[in-house]
Amino acid sequence: MAEQTAPPDVRRDGTAAKSDAAVVRDALGVGIAVGLSGFAFGVTSAGSGLSLLQTCALSLLVFTGASQFALVGALAAGGNPFTAAAGAFFVGTRNAFYGLRLSQLLALRPLVRPFAAQWVIDETTAVALAQPDRRSARIGFTVTGLTLYVLWNVTTLLGALGAEAIGDTAAWGLDAAGPAVFLALLAPMLRSTTERATAALAVLLGLGLLPVLPAGVPVLAAALAAPAVLWFRGRRTVGRRTDGRPEEDAR
């Protein structure tokens, strides 16, 4: 008789359940892979003129890679600290929208929420939302957040110490480490035509305005890409409806 394979566990709503071990494995993979990028931030921050204490404080207190890279990048380009901080703040506002979604999904106790808010970033949100149920989402969020927070801060310290040891980071080309890591994290998220068009327009705005605006301001101006693309897409949709043609697939 042929050996029968045991069917997977099924939840009440008919979707397949996911074991805790599988959730932990996936969360560790994301946390370790991204956490190692803290080394690039440490090198970039030290090369931008920030002290070891300032660099480590950014990773401990801010803990959102895109905003950290935006801040030190603007400072390295000679930007005003207030403008650089404004650009970093704007980049980090997406985490507030993540928090709105995760507050419903995780349903954490009020006393825990302020501490969990520190870990609301791209990676923890992606892992939590990918889970089939609340228990798995909580495990994925916690393991990803803890792994990434610890590893990011350790590698930030090592990167800053390494930058001090090798001297001028620009001579080694390490000033490009931050943008390269940021692009590597962003690229897999651009799945639809609208998202890719927004990213492309933001790049054009940022690069085009870089020679004429103070450092840090082009980052803020690049944010205009999102409403511009959405407005253009809305106009096309209205036009297609008027002509009686089917709407274009967003993908």
pLDDT in tens, 10-53: 454 444 567 889 999 999 988 898 888 888 889 888 888 899 99
Above 70 in pLDDT, residue 140?
yes
- Interval 158-177 mean pLDDT: 68
Distance from C-alpha of 6 to C-alpha of 13, rounded to nearest angstrom: 19
The pLDDT of residue 104: 93
Instruction: Count CB atoms within 10 A of the CB of residue 193.
Output: 14
- Interval 108-113 mean pLDDT: 93
3-state helix, strand, coil in the chain (%, to 5): 75, 0, 25
The pLDDT of residue 240: 67
Q: Is the Cα dihedral 131, 230, 191, 210 positive or negative?
A: negative
Distance from C-alpha of 138 to C-alpha of 132, rounded to nearest angstrom: 11
For residue 143, give the nearest of 163, 116, 169, 175 by alpha carbon: 116
124 versus 81: the higher-pLDDT residue is 124
| Token pair in block for residue 170 | 């620009």
The pLDDT of residue 210: 76
Inter-helix orientation angle 38-47/65-76, to 10°: 20
At 170-210, the pLDDT tens digits run 555 555 555 665 566 566 667 788 888 888 888 888 788 87
Q: DSSP label at 10?
A: B
Name the burial class of residue 40, with classes exposed (0-12), middle (13-18) and buried (19+) by CB atoms within 10 angstroms of its CB.
buried
Distance from C-alpha of 110 to C-alpha of 215, rounded to nearest angstrom: 40
Lookup result for tokens 């979604």: 101
| Token pair in block for residue 250 | 């967003």
Mean of pLDDT over the chain: 80
Lookup result for tokens 């001090």: 164
